[in-house]
Amino acid sequence: MMYCGKHVPWDHFPKSLSFQELQYPLIVLKQYFDFDWPNGHFKDLKTWRSFVIGNESYNHERLGAGKLLSKYHSTLKLLDALYVLHLVNEDEPSGKVSKEQLDNERSTWYWMPENLSEQELSCPYVLIKRIFKKIKPQLFRDYLMECIDFALSPHSVNSMTAEEIISLFKKLKKLISAAWIIRQRGTNTPFCK
């Protein structure tokens, strides 16, 4: 049977990762959170979203469009790294922790996501699988490309509703939270209080 979808099958291949990052996607998660804390990333996403929906174009006082372009590229890398980690853990999600370990993490870690369920906190790959089942990587890239285009243009987005944009950015926040959990558990140096 011939493939008749919108995207060719290899479109989901991670495009923004180097060979080393493909082999060790946890590197990307570490770099992402070395750059800023989760709440800083959330704040940047909220700013980005407001410029996508609004009629003004993004222009940072010191960095111009560069700051938003940097957020766009780091978000693409994070999505690709999470997709690779999802594929590695697809058959048998690893990383599920006990309630005792989760309670210990809550009391010792610098930050714990409040936008994830107990099941998602216990095993963030459940969330990643669910999100990538709804929105494939190439479609995420397409949406983010539209979002960056409209955030940098003086026009508001007309191809997506405000509700769709808000939903997309909520999914990004959840993926950032899942990435934080994976980063914390996957390193010997978690950020603690």
The predicted pLDDT at position 94 comes to 61
Angle formed by the axes of helices 162-185 and 38-53, to 10°? 160
pLDDT at res. 55: 80
Q: How confident is the model at residue 4 (pLDDT cuts 50, 70, 90)?
A: very low
Boundaries of domain holding 139? 22-185
Q: Which of 143, 14, 192, 153 is nearest to 88 (CA)?
A: 14
Does residue 191 lie in a domain region?
no
Position 81 pLDDT exceeds 60: yes
Give residue 32's pLDDT.
Answer: 96
What is the tally of structural domains in the chain? 1
In a domain? residue 4: no
Residue 6 falls inside a structural domain: no
pLDDT of residue 95: 63
> Whole-prediction pTM value?
0.89
State the Cα angle at 141 between 57 and 165, rounded to 5°: 55
- The whole-number average pLDDT for the span 175-183 is 97
Would you say residue 11 has pLDDT above 70? Answer: no
Q: Is residue 99 a part of any domain in this protein?
A: yes
Q: What tens digit of pLDDT does each residue of 115-171 get?
A: 999 999 999 999 999 999 999 888 899 899 999 988 888 877 777 888 899 999 999
Residue 2 pLDDT class (50, 70, 90 cuts): very low
- 8 vs 51, residue with greater confidence: 51
Tell me the mean pLDDT in the region 81-105.
Answer: 85
Confidence (pLDDT) at 1: 38
